[in-house]
Structure 1
Amino acid sequence: MSTVRVVCQQLAPRLGETEHNRNLGARAINDAAMLGAQVVVLPELMQSGYVFKDRQEAFELSEALDGPTLSLWKSLAAELDIIIVGGFCERLDDGQVANSAALVEPEGRLTVYRKAHLWNREKLIFTPGTAPPPVVQTAVGRIAMVICYDLELPEWVRLPALAGAELLCAPVNWPDAPRPASERPGEIVRVQANAAVNRMFIAACDRHGEERGIDWVGGSVIVDADGYPQAGGNAHRHEQRLVADLPLAQARDKYISAHNHVHQDRRPGLYLPSP
């Protein structure tokens, strides 16, 4: 069975230093291409940094779809024959901004997803997306996108799985929080669970580097359709590059026994509240 090489590049974008972040991202994309990657995933808000003071600061750092970051990613995707998924602060109308992710294909097609489920103070800054995660038929398989906290909502992750996604790419910024010494980050565990209950590959790319007093899990992970990490899977507060060769066709087989299918066994009529 043929495989697709996926690379997650866990990096440390700097808040407000958009030129530095473009250069950092470009280096990471080139490095992934040198490793033979067909898909590279970058962190959430890679273009701008994350911990904005307010909406105005975010708007000043935001970019339209024809801005310098996506223009650069388009050029690199075409030059390197690689699919790029990464986060950026998207400029909307009337001073609004969205926490967005772009999927850029070598042929020049651009697909944008706006984060629907906003975490904590993101609700004070971003306009939430209203469209479901897009599922894109690419040259290497059917790829979908969500962003960070979207992964905590199992109904939202199931939507692209039901729509035929084989690989879910998730740019994330997971703020670190206390946990028992023997436990791995819960965010990683939930990625594994989402992959297993949908039989879908997931590549979640976190960041590292302190920003305005916030540290990050550094929990980038690439998970197979059975929910097992193929790369990453533990907190690592430094730059890291995860590489995994994924047999995406396995995600089309939703059977987990001769008589059990992870989607056909669903009984949505039982899950709705009684009138």
Structure 2
Amino acid sequence: MNVAMGQYAVSRHWQENAETIISLMRRSHEGGADLLVLPEGVLARDIADPDLVLKAAQPLDGPFLSQVLAASRDNAMTTMMTVHVPTQGDKALNVFIAIRRGEIVARYDKLHLYDAFAMKESERVTAGDRIPPLVDVAGMKVAMMTCYDVRFPELARALALAGADVLTLPAAWVKGPLKEMHWEVMCTARALENTCYMVAVGECGPRNIGNSMVIDPLGVAIAKAAEAPALVFAELDPARIAHARDVLPVLANRRFAQPELNNN
């Protein structure tokens, strides 16, 4: 599978973000990508206005996604991103969507909300209550996770046991002491401990680190972006997964049952 990581700084204006995404989709398709992964919260962002995620939220049939879906109709490339969608109680859902040929082919509502490091995502966002589905892309099983989810190894393990070959992680990873180290360590750990590929795509800009990366099933970084906007390609090889699971059979050797989702 040829994967593209579209790292960019999200604007406060959804029209500008739609144009950026459509350009990244075109360039990724021209580059032979089967899968394009974009950052978290691509509809609108402003570090000076944290309520923008609520004010700018749109339904999945709104004008933002309608434009993006229309741009995806003419090819079989799968594009993944997260957007904020209005919900009950004056909040939004942080919805991870996979689109292909003008349709939404999979959806996941973010489970773990970022109530950490003096931030409180749950003030504006309602948590999901279901483990994400797997998406078939170019003969591989692709799993969906969102940003803070990477700090919870149970989710990645549940997805690996369900058959995932690739973990995808759109993120808006906030800068701060040790935060880049946390990002690299945990993205690498989730790949290595589950012998899966990890495709982690971070928003860049004044608040967030960028630093998108592809980690292979033995913990090797095979592609990386820095702190600036970038479109980075990588090849994911099923034979590498088979080799990793042969020499490091952690999934077969485990002594614990499959993790269960707690909705309490």
TM-score normalised to the size of structure 2? 0.88
Provide the C-alpha distance between the structure 2 equivalents of 1:160 and 1:77, rounded to a whole number of angstroms. Answer: 27
Matches within 5 A, 1:191-270: 191-210=187-206, 215-232=207-224, 236-248=226-238, 250-251=240-241, 255-257=245-247, 261-268=249-256
Alignment-mate amino acid for residue 35 of structure 2:
V
How far residue 29 of structure 1 moved from its aligned partner, in angstroms, is: 1.2
2:11 equivalent to 1:11: no
How many residues are aligned here?
254
Alignment-mate amino acid for residue 191 of structure 2:
A
Measured at CA, do residues 92 and 52 of structure 1 come closer, stay the same or move farther in structure 2, by a change above 3 Å? farther
How far residue 186 of structure 1 moved from its aligned partner, in angstroms, is: 2.0
Tell me the residue number matched to 1:122: 121
SS in 2 for 1:133: coil
Dislocated runs of 4+, deviation >4 Å = 50-55
Deviation per CA, 1:108-156, whole angstroms, max 9, x where unpaired?
Answer: 3431111111113212110011111211234442111110010111111
| Deviates most, 119-128 or 67-76 | 67-76
Provide the C-alpha distance between the structure 2 equivalents of 1:110 and 1:70, rounded to a whole number of angstroms. Answer: 13
SS in 1 for 2:253: coil
TM-score normalised to the size of structure 1? 0.85
2:22 equivalent to 1:23: no
Tell me the residue number matched to 1:43: 39
Alignment-mate amino acid for residue 98 of structure 2:
L
Provide the C-alpha distance between the structure 1 equivalents of 2:227 and 2:176, rounded to a whole number of angstroms. Answer: 13
Percent identity between the two aligned chains: 24
Provide the C-alpha distance between the structure 2 equivalents of 1:85 and 1:53, rounded to a whole number of angstroms. Answer: 25
Tell me the residue number matched to 1:71: 66
Measured at CA, do residues 161 and 239 of structure 1 come closer, stay the same or move farther in structure 2, by a change above 3 Å? same
Q: Is there any run of 5+ residues in structure 1 with no aligned partner, and where?
A: none
Measured at CA, do residues 224 and 108 of structure 1 come closer, stay the same or move farther in structure 2, by a change above 3 Å? same
| Deviates most, 139-148 or 223-232 | 139-148
Taking only aligned residues, the RMSD between alpha carbons, in angstroms, comes to 2.3
Matches within 5 A, 1:45-64: 45-49=41-45, 51=47, 53=49, 57-64=52-59
Deviation per CA, 1:203-234, whole angstroms, max 9, x where unpaired?
Answer: 11111112xxxx2222100111111111017x
Provide the C-alpha distance between the structure 1 equivalents of 2:65 and 2:167, rounded to a whole number of angstroms. Answer: 20
2:88 equivalent to 1:93: yes
